[in-house]
Structure 1
Amino acid sequence: MALGISAVGTAVLAVTAYAAQQQSPPIARYTMDAGTTSGFGAMGGGLNGAMAMLTGRGGGAAHELILRLGSTRPAAGAPKADHFMPAGAGLGKSVPLVTPVAGKPGTSREGGPMGELPKARLYIFWGCGEHAPKGQPLVIDFSKLAKGQVPPGLYAQSLNLPGDWTVLPSASTTYGDWPNGKDAKAVPGNASLRGVHRIAASYSPEINFTLDRDFMPALQTQSQAMPSGAYSLSWKPVADATGYYAWGISAKLTDQSGKGGEVQEMVWWSSSATQQFGGALSDWMSPAAVSQLIAAKTVMPPSQTSCTVPAEVRQMGGDMTMANLSAYGPQNDFAFPPRPADAKIAWKPEWIARVRFRSTTMLALGMPGMDEMMAGTPSANPAAPPQSAKPKCKGLAGIAKRAAGLCE
């Protein structure tokens, strides 16, 4: 796995778990990823989010849903698909799963261009502790990387995760997803997923399943600057969490006035005790995958509720480090016909479906958490966070500018 790429992108995982146990693939595969987002992330990111919280223009947690349907069948006419939701979801009778049009930008989350590389150096740290151990940071000079000069240690061991698969347009005869260019309505803050779900499409068998669980609770964090220069990071346990993973990023710009400028230096930190960054770790993950990564000391166990960010991260990156904490959650799997109890019996499902959960929060290390900042401040509309006027973050430079509050 290329460290510089996987650290900022969503991993593209092959469909291996089911294929290895089937004589033939299912006609349709469906994934539903449900997330709870809190902190700066719930407000669109950046410093505008903090001001919105403090002035009562929003608060609490936001919810996200990512729906993807892939089928081996061609569509009968124009492709059409809908996910019919329980009434508690607050999204109307259904949401449309739109098939991307060739040559137009889509929302499939499949791997794409990274954008222009920043003319900067990236200093990478990993592990919890007051001070970084010897051998850190790993330094990446993007100007040299663009010329093919790869520094030693850039490539980390790839993550072979059990039971993880995804739905991609490139691996489907017909594909549809939501949100999309035709429908991208916000999921209400009080939405519930409990109940019957039905997916009907012109290119897939009808999919039906019932969910008995809901969005995970929001993460509640605390962070303080320590005398050594390190940051303490702690959080309250989240119900149903299978493991935790944190990362942080800071940036120094050529224009230090805060009005803009090019990225000059970036610092990236991960809570992993091993040299593993981003990729699948920034996505939803199955409990089996999380369990494997806990054993490898890449993911923190659900019993852990604190991590110290090394002083060197602050020394090299400055006083503004934006951090993200993820609590991986449970997973529900469905299929028709169901998998036989006897593994010797051939299993040929018409469709398989998976629902994954997670909770994430974004905070500024050393600053009060959003729950503390909002103490006693009423929310005007927690279900509909305000829209930011900032430009969209693009490529690797965008990751750093997001940390500085210059884009979203």
Structure 2
Amino acid sequence: MAVGAAAAIAIPIIAQQPPTTGPIARYDMRASTVSGMAAMGGGRPNPMAMMMGGRGDNVQHELYLRLGSSQAASGPPQAQHFMPPGAQLGNSVQLVTPREEPAPDEFRGQRPKGRMLIYWGCGEHAPAGQPVIIDFSKLAAGQVPPGLWSSTIIRDWGPTLQNSRSFGRWPADDGKFVKRESALPGPHRIAGNYTPEISFTLARDFMRPLSVRTAAQPSGAMLVSWAGVPDATGYLAFLFGGKRAPRGNEMGDMVMWTSSASRQFGGGLTDWLTPGQVAGLVRDRTVLAPSATSCTVPAEVRRDAADFRMGTLTAYGPMEDFAYPPRPANPKATWNIQWTARIRHRSTTSWMDIPGMENMGNMDMGAMDRDSEERGPQQQQQQQPCRPKRGLGGLLGGALGGGSGC
């Protein structure tokens, strides 16, 4: 009888789901605050800038816009995003339709040499069973090593050229870029010849920047600590490094480590995630809780990556989403959705763990409060149009905080 009662309750709940149509158009915004090394080179790690006096208070903002529609354009595709004045992007930015673009998880490139040693989890020492070793000499060119990247969390770019009849994106080669002082709150409107007009008001601004401190431990491990960021839903740390081959002319073993306790790498973890996704990842210990402020890189990771180590820390952030028209009050009425829109946030910082300079991190933690003091003029780095790098190097660059997904 208990089974029958459960079934009787479940059937009406399913039947009450209102029918929907659409949406005709989908709009996706991704906002990022980038600090540390990645902020010194247009969003790409720049080790030389770091070693030649770059400060940890370098901060940039990034914004990526994507519009997909099931409608055909009436003429050459055209669409614009009209911004509030605080965005400092002029009256609008043009959403450009590319001729082609790679799929989010497309992997291309030449076969790397040597081996990859994979570690995961926070702690003084790596547990038994680590590292997992991948020998690239046994793989075909361009093949992704099984188990290297996360298979459970896919990249979600929203609209793409492949899943939309009409499509546009920004940034583009228009000379416009988001500035450090740019602000997002206020009215936003998207209009074009292949989409219904989209209009919404954002309440949230870019996330606060992250700052990391590193401290070598007597065991050989490295303590990575940070100040918490408001609105963070969880944190993930990643480190990539290696050591030279015995002859010194080529790289020997490469090493990857992540703070994930469940050995999750790459995939959607290097991109933007919704709060709902992150909540589940915190529960299964893939992502550190929003209350976390430190993680220890095991001594074995630093031992096996003796010559260079680069790390990144990502704070996943909030999301705002919108739909028009609103859901009907009548649960039986069909919801004819014209458009949906969302914006996801994250904050990312990166650093170098240089042998002999282990307690550097990404410098001045107090300087990361952009509202606490006035700063002198600072040259703005232009946000680059979408030209994803190919191969393993491009994927690792994304994992280190320089990958936009575009």
TM-score (norm 2): 0.82
- Asked if structure 1 preserves the Cα contact closer than 8 Å seen for 2:32 and 2:347, the reply is yes
- Asked if structure 2 preserves the Cα contact closer than 8 Å seen for 1:122 and 1:266, the reply is yes
Among 88, 109, 112, which residue is 2:106 paired with?
112
Q: Distance in 2 between matches of 1:67 and 1:387?
A: 13
Secondary structure of the 2:342 match is strand
- Asked if structure 1 preserves the Cα contact closer than 8 Å seen for 2:62 and 2:178, the reply is yes
Q: Distance in 1 between matches of 2:146 and 2:196?
A: 49
- Asked if structure 1 preserves the Cα contact closer than 8 Å seen for 2:266 and 2:399, the reply is no
Instruction: Report whether the alignment pairs 1:28 with 2:25.
Output: yes
Instruction: Report whether the alignment pairs 1:339 with 2:327.
Output: yes
Corresponding residue for 2:265?
A: 277
Secondary structure of the 2:20 match is coil
> Which sits farther off after the overlay, 356-365 or 371-380?
371-380
Q: 1:92 to 1:157 in 2, by over 3 A?
A: closer
State the one-letter code of the partner of 2:152.
Answer: S
Secondary structure of the 1:128 match is coil
State the one-letter code of the partner of 1:179.
Answer: P
Secondary structure of the 1:369 match is coil
Q: Distance in 2 between matches of 1:387 and 1:174?
A: 24
What displacement does 1:318 show? Answer: 1.2
> Which sits farther off after the overlay, 182-191 or 115-124?
182-191
- Asked if structure 2 preserves the Cα contact closer than 8 Å seen for 1:322 and 1:403, the reply is no
- Asked if structure 1 preserves the Cα contact closer than 8 Å seen for 2:153 and 2:269, the reply is no
Corresponding residue for 2:11?
A: none
Q: 1:344 to 1:270 in 2, by over 3 A?
A: farther
State the one-letter code of the partner of 1:158.
Answer: T
What displacement does 1:331 show? Answer: 0.4
Corresponding residue for 1:97?
A: 95
Q: 1:375 to 1:219 in 2, by over 3 A?
A: closer
State the one-letter code of the partner of 1:50.
Answer: M
State the one-letter code of the partner of 2:49.
Answer: G
Q: Distance in 1 between matches of 2:281 and 2:66?
A: 25
State the one-letter code of the partner of 1:274.
Answer: S
Q: Distance in 2 between matches of 1:268 and 1:398?
A: 15
Corresponding residue for 1:78?
A: 76
Instruction: Report whether the alignment pairs 1:60 with 2:62.
Output: no
- Asked if structure 1 preserves the Cα contact closer than 8 Å seen for 2:231 and 2:317, the reply is yes
Instruction: Report whether the alignment pairs 1:50 with 2:50.
Output: yes
Instruction: Report whether the alignment pairs 1:382 with 2:378.
Output: yes
> Which sits farther off after the overlay, 200-209 or 142-151?
142-151
Instruction: Report whether the alignment pairs 1:349 with 2:343.
Output: no
Cα shift readout 1:295-325 (whole Å, capped 9, x = no counterpart): 1110111111110001110011115211110
What displacement does 1:170 show? Answer: 0.5
Corresponding residue for 1:302?
A: 290
Give the RMSD, CA atoms, in angstroms: 3.4
What displacement does 1:247 show? Answer: 0.6
Corresponding residue for 1:329?
A: 317
Q: 1:386 to 1:207 in 2, by over 3 A?
A: closer
Among 293, 304, 307, which residue is 1:316 paired with?
304
Instruction: Report whether the alignment pairs 1:40 with 2:37.
Output: yes
Corresponding residue for 2:14?
A: none
Instruction: Give the structure with higher Rg (CA).
Output: 2
- Asked if structure 1 preserves the Cα contact closer than 8 Å seen for 2:111 and 2:143, the reply is no
Q: Distance in 1 between matches of 2:167 and 2:143?
A: 38
Q: Distance in 1 between matches of 2:283 and 2:140?
A: 35
Q: Distance in 2 between matches of 1:81 and 1:150?
A: 36
Q: 1:191 to 1:256 in 2, by over 3 A?
A: farther
Q: 1:393 to 1:264 in 2, by over 3 A?
A: farther
Corresponding residue for 1:241?
A: 232
What displacement does 1:382 show? Answer: 3.5
State the one-letter code of the partner of 2:85.
Answer: A
Q: Distance in 1 between matches of 2:364 and 2:141?
A: 47
Cα shift readout 1:39-70 (whole Å, capped 9, x = no counterpart): 00111212233156x267x9431000010000
Among 159, 169, 192, which residue is 1:177 paired with?
169
Secondary structure of the 2:281 match is helix
- Asked if structure 1 preserves the Cα contact closer than 8 Å seen for 2:18 and 2:332, the reply is no
Q: 1:308 to 1:77 in 2, by over 3 A?
A: same
Equivalent pairs, count: 372
Q: Which runs of 5+ in 1 are unaligned?
A: 1-19
Secondary structure of the 2:21 match is coil
- Asked if structure 2 preserves the Cα contact closer than 8 Å seen for 1:128 and 1:309, the reply is yes
Q: Distance in 1 between matches of 2:316 and 2:366?
A: 25
State the one-letter code of the partner of 2:201.
Answer: T
Instruction: Report whether the alignment pairs 1:129 with 2:123.
Output: yes
Among 178, 183, 188, which residue is 1:197 paired with?
188
Q: Which runs of 5+ in 2 are unaligned?
A: 1-16
Instruction: Report whether the alignment pairs 1:225 with 2:216.
Output: yes
Q: 1:156 to 1:77 in 2, by over 3 A?
A: closer
What displacement does 1:379 show? Answer: 6.2
What displacement does 1:280 show? Answer: 0.8
Corresponding residue for 1:362?
A: 350
Secondary structure of the 2:303 match is helix
Q: Distance in 1 between matches of 2:146 and 2:76?
A: 50
State the one-letter code of the partner of 1:71.
Answer: S
Q: Distance in 2 between matches of 1:99 and 1:187?
A: 20
